[in-house]
Structure 1
Amino acid sequence: MTTTRLIVWRHGNTDWNAAGRVQGQSDVPLNGLGEQQAVDAAELLVRLRPAALVSSDLRRAADTAAALAALTGHSVRHDERLRERYFGAWQGLTMDEVAETRPQEHARWKAGEDVIGGDIETLDAMGKRVSDAFQEAAGSVPAGGTVIVATHGAAARQGIGTLLGWPREQLRTLRALQNCHWAELTHDESRGWQLAAYNVGPFSERPVPPPV
């Protein structure tokens, strides 16, 4: 039985992560810590012998993937479907500022509702686009190969849940990936998609920045 492996890798730290600001699809670069995290993680991920690398086109994910590309010799294919959730009017605000200025939307977000308002992308729409990108990435490597996908916190969690067919209530029990940590999923014809590992990385436990 041939098993294909999909590694879903969150980008490294940014100044907005450090400040607790909502990034969404704002194109915020890695900071110095994030660049080092990408190098450290790449030194582990290269051992998986990936056949292909795919990344969100936002710089923080693309530059994370580039650290691994430098070790593998592979080029990185960029896919805008792997972008973070679009957070509309929240982008650039801290969560405290969101709670103060947009309390009804913040309450819906905390409750895990699909539709929040404020021009924020729905969970279902995000999950479908990210899951579709995961499926295409996995299909781009020979059966039994490994593909590594660099993406974002909320996108990773929702995309994984959609790929596995999990209901939203179950997905809410899955904590966010830490910066530059990853999840491992496998696929074969008899069992379909399975989650093999989650929140794996080279760093000691740290507080988890908001997955936005």
Structure 2
Amino acid sequence: MTTRLLVWRHGNTDWNAARRVQGQTDVPLNDLGRRQAAEAAELLAAMRPAAIVASDLRRAADTAAALAARTGLPVSHDERLRERYFGAWQGLTTAEVALQRPLEFARWKAGQDVGGDVEDLDVMGKRVSDALQDAATLGGTVVVATHGAAARQGIAHLLGWSREHTRTLRALQNCHWVELSHDEDRGWQLGAYNVGVFAERPVPPPV
């Protein structure tokens, strides 16, 4: 039996628009984000999901709710799907982080662990991967609403990719998704990346 995971980044927020570090701050969707969620939900509903799982942070939970409204499916919430914890960075713009914490910012840009109170990449990858594995046990097509950095690192951990390989993935755009499949013969495979309704300009790695 083949299981399919559609790992879906939440819609736009005011902090996304301002390039402000969200991390685990519970920032809601803005008007654009709600519209993105509703339009993406139309496409995802056509894929006939069997289950919906979401981060408990509002921007992901409300994105998932748009799909639930179309399909009639309930949403299960899993805090392991939360975004990376960015500690003292949260609430700052990326420009402010670069100015106030240049060494940490340089490590982040290089794809390294930041240090301080910022969550380690491997820790984040494992917790999100564990949540994805549990979501997959629901069977069929499962939509998982989460966050940009969490999605990328969790998927990489699931696939057994190195950090160097993971850095080849561009940032996941708001309300775009990744398709993964799993069967007994081939294990986990990446089917599609950054699929969605909206054509957006490239953005910095999501935080």
TM-score (norm 1): 0.96
Residue 117 of structure 2 corresponds to 119
Deviation at 1:208, TM superposition (A): 2.2
Q: Where does residue 149 of structure 1 map in the other structure?
A: 144
* 8 Å contact kept, 1:11–1:60: yes
Shift of 1:201: 0.2
How far the C-alpha of 1:209 sits from its partner, in A, is 5.1
Structure 1 stretches of 4+ moved >6 Å: none
Equivalent residues in 2 for 1:1-212 (5 A)? 2-114=1-113, 116-141=114-139, 145-208=140-203, 210-212=205-207
**More displaced 10-residue stretch of structure 1: 148-157 or 201-210:** 201-210
Identity %: 78
Matched AA of 2:190? L
Question: In the TM superposition, what is the alpha-carbon distance from 1:140 to its structure 2 partner?
Answer: 1.7
Q: What amino acid maps onto 1:122 in structure 2?
A: D
User: Where does the alignment leave 5 or more consecutive residues of structure 2 unmatched?
Assistant: none
- SS of the residue corresponding to residue 46 of structure 2 reads helix
Q: Distance in 2 between matches of 1:23 and 1:7?
A: 23
Q: TM-score, normalised by structure 2?
A: 0.98
Deviation at residue 111 of structure 1 after TM alignment = 1.1
Preserved CA contact (<8 Å) 1:57 1:80: yes
For structure 1, the 5+ residue unaligned runs are none
Cα distance in structure 1, aligned partners of 2:198 and 2:116: 35
